[in-house]
Structures are given as structure tokens and as C-alpha cells.
Structure 1
Amino acid sequence: MNATVEQLAPVEQQATTPWVVAALYQFKEVKDPAQLQQNLLDIVKTINLCGTLIVAKEGINGTIAGDQHAIQVMHQFLLDAGFNDMEYKESHSSDKPFRKMKIKLKKEIVTLGVDVKPRNLVGHYLDPKAWNDLISRDDVIIVDTRNDYEYKAGTFKNAVDPKTESFREFPDYVKKQLAEHKNKKIAMFCTGGIRCEKSTSLLLQEGFEEVYHLKGGILKYLEETPAEESLWEGECFVFDGRTAVTHAMQEGENVKCHACGWPLTPEEVALPTYELGVSCLYCIEKTSEQQKNNFRMRQSQIVAAKRKRL
């Protein structure tokens, strides 16, 4: 099996707004990932979807968007294919959140780079209320398993930032900075829960004694927890055109710098360092003038393409 094969399915037309966005994953043995990929490609040729689904021997993961009918068709197909214990959440976007529909075949549905067994070694799942109770204690270490730019948009009160640029760096963080706390209670969270599934499995494999994770991730927490009871601070970065969401899964105020990908607050957008599609305060000193000119050309092409669609 080619672990890096990526196939594209075209999105023929825009769905009626608002777009339904479905985030889903399940760790489940897939005997023939290539066949599942082909079956998914056949399905998306007949319905209007955009987003990404990742298929591997260990399961399926992804976020897709479309009208309610298209989302229901895909959801039912996955249920019929045996993914009947998915972590599955729907939200909405006012604009098309992805450009294309991609079905990827990979070695892992979320890349940790370390062999773990998330179906066998499992931490303690906590619902939002139990999570609030746990992370309010003084004897608990709260670890944000996401990347640095996601942490920047928002996180839980008193959460530790591992300062990772990708999930592949998390095992190194565990060995170098977290290993001395194996006898402590460790509470971990991520956007939808999938990275925590692997993180808790990794920690248990490394000899940690009490490992907890937020079931359904931040998205489920924001969906179910009233703002007045929430211990979440800021917005939750999402990997689509919305940039970030807040409580009740409402679209946030952060926007993404399309030069470097970092989320920006309205105040940061107002700074002179920000130029749409070209730069922000986090990357303006990291790119050359030639690169900035290339970004400007790209941005002008994006604007022109949008005008043609109007």
C-alpha cells in the first residue's frame, strides 16, 4: 500500500448556505484501506462535498462540509461500512470552508510517528462537567496536545503549551518535559479528541499512572457547555475557512494569516504588519520581498477567481 497516495474528487457546485460541517473519526481496523478509499471516492462523485477524509489501517479521520443531504449520505455510508462508534460532530459555516474534496490514504489517521494502540491502551474519558471538576484541582497537570498556533487562538485555563509545531513533536515533549510527572494526574485535550486518543495511549505506554482526556474534544465541550460555566479562554482554532469557533459552535472573530497560517485577533489584523494574504506580525520578518510579491500575486488571483463566481 502506498502510504502517501492522495486522490481528489471535484466539488461541482456550492452547497446552499450555511454549510454543514461534520468532524469525525474512529479508530477501527480497516482490512483494505485502498478499497475504502475507492468506495469513498465513488460516493463523493455523486454528492456535493468538500473537505478531507484520511483513511488508514487504523481507521478514518477528517472534516467534511456540504448541504445537509450530502452530509447525511456520507454519514450513513460510514455507519453502514462499520464505523458505528464514530466521534461525530456537526456545526455550520456561513461560507464554503474548503476548496476541494480530498480522500487521502496514509499510514496513520493522525500522525504521531510512534506506534501506539489507542484501541487497547485507553485513558479515562471525561464529559465536560467531569472535565471542569478535574482541571479545577491543584494536583492536575493540564496539557494542550495541539500545536503552538492552535494554543495561541485559545485554550483551557492553566493549560500547559508543549510548544509543538506538529503532532509528531509531542512524543519528544513527553520524554523531555513530562516524564518526571508520571505519578501525577495528567489531563489532556485537543480539538476533536483524536490526538488525545493517541496521546493518552502514548502516556500509558510510557508508564504514566493516571491519564484523562476530554471526550469529544474542545468542539464537544464548546457545544455542550454554557459560556458562564466554561473554563475555556479564547477561541478554538479549526482547520477550515472559519479559522476559529466559540461557544455553541459559533464562528469566532479570529482570521487566518494566509501567508503563515497563524490565527489573528481583530486587533492584530488592524496592525500595519497585516496585509491580506501577504503578512502579519508573526511572519512579516520571516519572508523576503520576493516572497511577499508572490503572495500578493496569489492574493490577486484569489480575488479575481471570486469575482468570476459572483
Structure 2
Amino acid sequence: MDDRTPHAMPMSILNISAYKFVALDDLEDLRAHFVARCDALALKGTILLAPEGINLFLAAPREAIASFMAWLHEDARFADIAPKESLSDDVPFSRMRVRLKKEIITMRAPAIRPGAGRAPHVLPTDLRRWLDQGHDDDGREVVLVDTRNDYEVAAGTFENTVEYGIASFTAFPDAVAADRARFDGKTVVSFCTGGIRCEKAAIHMAGIGIDRVFQLEGGILKYFEEVGGAHWRGDCFVFDDRGAVDPGLAPSPAA
């Protein structure tokens, strides 16, 4: 008789999130193509399309996701999209939606146009090193700015983070502008779940005179993927039925 404890079955659903700021002027046609492709592959999740770009959250068995990404990369505008990945036992979406929006992340700041030039970024491994050593590579103090909403921050965030208790990203520009003096002479790193909000936030902060500001490349999810939970406390809120993921990118039991 084999009395060894059986191994848990591996989680079979691949969850991906990705975005790109890129000018899109064929939104209706794109939506129809995405709907047809996602239906054919039985994907679930949400794709947002706007004149400024694409934002997507999808879940399915790995083979279906791989097929979708290969198809997506055939369009030169999306050829360099590299999604963040996590696994779950079940699909955390009830349906598939492809929506047209004015912005893929609503900021209501038309002057902020990431498609015209990306914000400077710091890689997760470099941010980990900066936090470990207590300063950036030039010896400057590093200040982390959480650009997410209050209920997301409540699930978890980096240690010693500046956060504004906002209920909507549209409140972020005024909140950080009123606090601008805090960042003088420091290296500022904005972060968010997957990179999209913190990219707009970094551009805004540079625009109001913060002279050394970066976004965390790939956001919290890429940090977890490459670094784990160093300097993090709690979980990361996600916008699907998982509720949150832990630093190992597994669905959080506390969610």
C-alpha cells in the first residue's frame, strides 16, 4: 500500500493580463475580430479597446491562450505584447466581453499620451535591489507611490508606500500634485497591478515637475513573477473572481 501523501493536481487554467498604449483607429473592426477569435477559443475575460490602445484579461487552458497570443502577435501593433501570467483551478470570469472605451484606463487627462512615448521604467529585479540597499544606484532615497484605489491597497501593498486613499484613478492627478514637494530630491517609483495605471501616473508626475520618476515595469504582477514577495505585505487585488493573488501568484485563500 502506498501511504505517500498524493500531490495536488496542478492548476490548469492560465490567466493573463496585458496592455499596450498604441494608436487604434479601427475599433469596430477590431472588436468584431476579437469577439470571433475569443469565441472560437472559448476564452473568458475582458478586452478593452480605445483610441489609446488595448487592455486585456483572459483565462483558459494554456493551449487556447497560446493560440490567442499567436494570433494577436500577427498584428504588428500588438506583436511585442508580453502578458503577465498566473494559474488557477477554475476560470475566474463568467463570460467574455470585448468593450470599446474612451480610455483603456480612465484618467480624464487628455494631455497624458503614453503612446507618444513610454514613461521611464524600473525592472522588478532592480527595484528589489534598490529596496534591499535602501537607495537607488545613485544613492538617492526611493519613494514608492501606489496609484491604485483604496480598496485595492487594502488587500496589500509595498512597505513604506505613499498612497492617497482615492476611490478612483481620476482623483490621482490632483492628489499627487498637492503632495509634489514630498518628492524633491528623491527617486519616485509609481506602481499598480499590471503597469497600465502607473505608466500614466509616471508621465503625469514628470509633467508636474517631479524630476526623477519611474514606473514599475509590469506592475505588481510582474514583480511577483520575477521577485516574489520581498518588501511586500499582504496580497494583490485582481479584478476577477479570484479577488486577490498572493506573492506566489496563487489565488489568495483570504480573498
- Is the TM value for this pair above 0.5? yes
Query: Which residue of structure 2 lines up, in the alignment, with residue 127 of structure 1?
Result: 123
Deviations 1:127-157 (A, max 9, x none): 1221123343372221101111111111111
Q: Percent identity?
A: 37
Query: Which residue of structure 1 lines up, in the alignment, with residue 94 of structure 2?
Result: 99
Stretches of structure 2 lacking an aligned partner (at least 5 in a row):
1-10
Q: Give me the whole-angstrom Cα distance separating, in 2, the residues matched to 1:117 and 1:196.
A: 13
Paired residue secondary structure (2:44): strand
Q: Give me the whole-angstrom Cα distance separating, in 2, the residues matched to 1:27 and 1:87.
A: 13
Query: Which residue of structure 1 lines up, in the alignment, with residue 254 of structure 2?
Result: 254
Q: In the alignment, does 2:46 pair up with 1:52? A: yes
**2:212 aligned residue (168, 186, 210):** 210
Q: In the alignment, does 2:151 pair up with 1:157? A: no
RMSD of aligned Cα (Å): 1.9
How many Å apart are 1:57 and its aligned residue? Answer: 1.2
- CA change 1:48–1:233 in 2 (3 A) is same
Query: Which residue of structure 2 lines up, in the alignment, with residue 192 of structure 1?
Result: 194
Contact 1:122 1:200 in 2 (8 A): no
Q: Give me the whole-angstrom Cα distance separating, in 2, the residues matched to 1:226 and 1:41.
A: 34
Paired residue secondary structure (1:113): coil
Matched letter for residue 247 of structure 1: P
Paired residue secondary structure (1:132): helix
How many Å apart are 1:189 and its aligned residue? Answer: 0.6
Query: Which residue of structure 1 lines up, in the alignment, with residue 8 of structure 2?
Result: none
Deviations 1:265-301 (A, max 9, x none): xxxxxxxxxxxxxxxxxxxxxxxxxxxxxxxxxxxxx
Deviations 1:76-121 (A, max 9, x none): 2211122022241121111220111000001111111102021334
Q: Which has the higher contact order (CA 8 A, sep 6+)?
A: 2
Q: In the alignment, does 2:114 pair up with 1:118? A: yes
Q: After superposition, where does 1:25-64 map in structure 2 within 5 Å? A: 25-64=19-58
Q: In the alignment, does 2:141 pair up with 1:139? A: yes
Query: Which residue of structure 2 lines up, in the alignment, with residue 178 of structure 1?
Result: 180
How many Å apart are 1:178 and its aligned residue? Answer: 2.9
- CA change 1:221–1:180 in 2 (3 A) is closer
Q: Give me the whole-angstrom Cα distance separating, in 2, the residues matched to 1:124 and 1:30.
A: 23
Q: In the alignment, does 2:55 pair up with 1:24? A: no
Paired residue secondary structure (2:162): coil
Say which one has the larger Rg. 1
How many Å apart are 1:224 and its aligned residue? Answer: 1.3
Query: Which residue of structure 2 lines up, in the alignment, with residue 4 of structure 1?
Result: none
Paired residue secondary structure (1:85): coil
May I ask how many residue pairs the two structures share in their alignment? 238
Q: Give me the whole-angstrom Cα distance separating, in 2, the residues matched to 1:201 and 1:182.
A: 16
Stretches of structure 1 lacking an aligned partner (at least 5 in a row):
1-16, 256-310
- CA change 1:181–1:98 in 2 (3 A) is same
Query: Which residue of structure 2 lines up, in the alignment, with residue 245 of structure 1?
Result: 245
How many Å apart are 1:238 and its aligned residue? Answer: 0.8
Which piece of structure 1 moves more, 30-39 or 133-142? 133-142
Q: After superposition, where does 1:293-308 map in structure 2 within 5 Å? A: none
Contact 1:48 1:67 in 2 (8 A): no
Q: Give me the whole-angstrom Cα distance separating, in 1, the residues matched to 2:116 and 2:185.
A: 21
Contact 1:182 1:207 in 2 (8 A): no
Q: Give me the whole-angstrom Cα distance separating, in 2, the residues matched to 1:79 and 1:97.
A: 24
Query: Which residue of structure 1 lines up, in the alignment, with residue 232 of structure 2?
Result: 232
What TM-score results when the alignment is normalised by the length of structure 1?
0.72
Matched letter for residue 57 of structure 1: P
Query: Which residue of structure 2 lines up, in the alignment, with residue 303 of structure 1?
Result: none
